[in-house]
Structure 1
Amino acid sequence: MFYSNAWSKCLICLIFLTSGNAECPKPQVEGNVVLTNDALLMNDFPEGEEATFECANGYLKEQGSERITCTSGEWSTLKLTCKKKDCGAPRKMPHLSYEFKEGTLFGASARAICDKGYQLMGPSYRQCYAIGWSGRPRCKVVTCDKPPEIMHGTIVEKPGKELPEYGGVIQYSCNEGYTLIGNKSIECTEDGEYNSLPPECKDVYDILLKPTTISTSSITTTSTVPPTIRDVNDILLKPTTISTSSITTTSSVPPTIRDVNGILLKPTTISTSSITTTSTVPPTIRGRNNGVGEHDTNAATEIAAVVGSGIGTVISKNSIT
């Protein structure tokens, strides 16, 4: 009876001790933390055992402890927090820049951009990994083909390198006796092409002169020809030209005159007259003996009468003055 009670007490103690040393299950991983390699190799997690964690690839420890403890078959709460790694700006390279639309944290990508006149060599995008930025792009200057030679001319200036680079200028000159047609210089552009064709050298005697445009004007003159008059023997008579005469007289006003009583006399106003006579005389007509015809006598008489009348009028007015 004694042995039976003792055995029962020992069995109860063994059950109590066994239940108090219960193992914990394998820890579960969530978020951006993972078990360390040592914890992954463990199969049993008895009472009081610890498991260690670390930040996942691309993440860094921000705060908290990396360890948890098995107590009464349960794990303690993990306090570790991790954040994304920041790759920062890539190392600077000549004529190379980046566009950061996603930032510089782990997982982000950046686009590589070359300056004008340079071409990208390598990947156009870089990825931020745990070890840093991927790829190594670079920018190479654009080059043009070897500058062409020209007939009857030479290259007087060009860059030192065999293949001109972006912005390089090549200048041409013609030999003596030749004229340069086109641009005297060409430049290597960002597309790897020259901005124009090379010039040509032409023989000065082969160059066509630009025709000169001469405007013509039309001048029309009109003259009045007197009628042809012939005598009785059908001989052409030469017309007689009479010039126009103009007679102009000018009178001056006498000084102020007073009478014997000192009274001012009213001056006499004398107007100036101008007589211009123009006569058209028919051609002289002569008879068989080359004498003056009837028409000549009448015309001469008319002219004398008119001129005499004008002169008489002028003389008459002057005498009144």
Structure 2
Amino acid sequence: MFYSSSWSKCLICLIFITSGNAECPKPQVEGNFVLTNDALLKNDFPEGTEATFECANGYLKEQGSERITCTSGEWSTLELTCKKKDCGAPRKIAHLTYEFGEEGTLFGASAKAICDKGYQLMGSSYRQCYANGWSGRPRCEVVTCEKPIEIKNGTITEQPDKEFPEYGGVIQYSCDEGYTLIGNKSIECNEDGEYNSVPPECKDGNDIPLKPTTTISTTSITTTTTSTVPPIIRDVDDIPLKPTTTISTTSITTTTTSTVPPIIRVSGRNNGIGEHDTNAATGNAAVVGSVIGTVIVTLIVLFTLYRFYKRKGSYQTGEDPSRKEELLQFKNN
């Protein structure tokens, strides 16, 4: 009996002690922080146990305690707050700028790399802000054009000291003696890697067509003659009736075109100069002669018409008006 009562008392005390020291579950906290390695390796969290937290990757401690405590089977409230890490502005690179989004330079943000005009981007066009800083290393290299082209009968008088001219580089051309430069005497390397124009050409001065100045003189004379020709009109009894007036028009148009060759000067090689001169007085005499000829033709036509009308004579029969009435009366009877 003695042993039985003693074991019962010990069992009751053990149950009481065990019920007063309840364990806490493994901590589960949501946010931008995580358990430290020491807390992650533990499996049991008895009464009074502490668990430690730290800010997640890319975040820094802002304020509050990193520890929580197990009390009566429950964890205390975590007071730690963390904020995003700031990568700061990327390191400056020549001819390179950045365009930032809404998050600026904070952890997780991205920045677009942009090169100056005349430069091309090498590497990634975007950089990302990670926990250890900005990703990537973009750079901007100057744009270059092809090697300048040599021209026939000419030379390059000025060019950059590099085999392949860079953006903004200018190439100057000139022609040999006795040749004329056609086109732009200089070309420039553009931002797209092409020249702003094709190289010029050098041509012999004698082969360059010039646009002559031509003077055209036109003289137009129009002569119009109007005449009334009274024809003989008779009825069935051969009695002259009142003539009908007919108008005929004769029009003579004379147009004379004269081209006066201009003086054309063409420069040739070896500084020689050739001139072709044509006497302008010859052209003026031709114009005056044409006008006089036209007037003479007009006078001949008018004289011919005059003689024609004169030969036709009068259309009056000379008969007595009383005789004409008798003939008409005889016809009616």
TM-score, length of structure 2 as denominator length: 0.64
2:200 maps to 199
Shift of 1:171: 0.3
- The CA deviation at 1:3 is 4.3
Residues in 2 aligned to 1:29 and 1:112: alpha-carbon distance in whole angstroms: 38
Structure 1 Cα separation of the partners of residues 6 and 31 of structure 2: 53
List aligned pairs for 1:182-261, cutoff 5 A: 182-218=183-219
Match of 1:123 in 2: 124
Please show how residues 1-321 of structure 1 align to structure 2 within 5 Å: 1-102=1-102, 103-218=104-219
Mind listing any 5+ residue stretches in structure 2 that lack a counterpart? 220-286, 300-333
The alpha carbon displacement at 1:17 in A equals 1.4
Partner-residue secondary structure (3-state), 2:157? strand
CA-CA distance at 1:6 after TM superposition: 3.6
In structure 2, distance between residues paired with 1:215 and 1:6 = 148
After superposition, what is the alpha-carbon deviation per residue over 1:269-313, rounded to whole angstroms, capped at 9, x for unaligned?
A: xxxxxxxxxxxxxxxxxxxxxxxxxxxxxxxxxxxxxxxxxxxxx
Rounded Cα–Cα distance in structure 1 between residues aligned with 2:46 and 2:154: 95
| Aligned-pair CA distance for 1:148 | 0.6
Identity %: 82
Residues of 1 paired with 2:41 and 2:149: CA distance?
72
Structure 1: any 5+ residue segments left out of the alignment? 228-321
Counterpart residue type for residue 107 of structure 1: G
Alignment deviations for residues 97-125 of structure 1 (CA, whole Å, 9 cap, x no partner)? 11112321111111111111111111111
Q: Whole-Å Cα distance in 1 between the matches of residues 141 and 120 of structure 2?
A: 5
How big is the shift at 1:2? 4.8
RMSD: 2.1
Quote how far apart the aligned CAs of 1:60 are: 1.0
Q: Write the letter of the residue equivalent to 1:54.
A: E
2:224 matched to which residue of 1?
none
Quote the offset at 1:154 in angstroms.
0.7
Q: Which amino acid is 2:14 matched to?
A: L
SS in structure 2 at match of 1:10: helix
Structure 2: how far apart are the matches of 1:24 and 1:223?
A: 135
Find the aligned partners of 1:187 and 1:133 in 2 and give their Cα distance: 38
Secondary structure of the corresponding residue to residue 147 of structure 2:
coil
Tell me the residue number matched to 1:242.
none
How far 1:217 sits from its partner (Å)?
4.9
Q: Give the aligned partner of residue 249 of structure 2.
A: none
Identify the structure with the greater helix proportion. Answer: 2
Query: CA–CA distance in 2 between the matches of 1:101 and 1:29?
Result: 31
State the secondary structure of the residue aligned to 2:23: coil
How far apart are the structure 2 equivalents of 1:90 and 1:213? 71
SS at match of 1:216: strand
Aligned-partner SS, 1:205:
helix
Larger Rg: 1
Q: CA deviation digits over 1:216-271, x for unaligned, max 9? A: 253757989xx9xxxxxxxxxxxxxxxxxxxxxxxxxxxxxxxxxxxxxxxxxxxx
- 1:4 deviates by 4.0
Q: Which has the higher strand share?
A: 2
When residues 206 and 223 of structure 1 are mapped into structure 2, their CA distance, relative to the original with a 3 A threshold, is closer
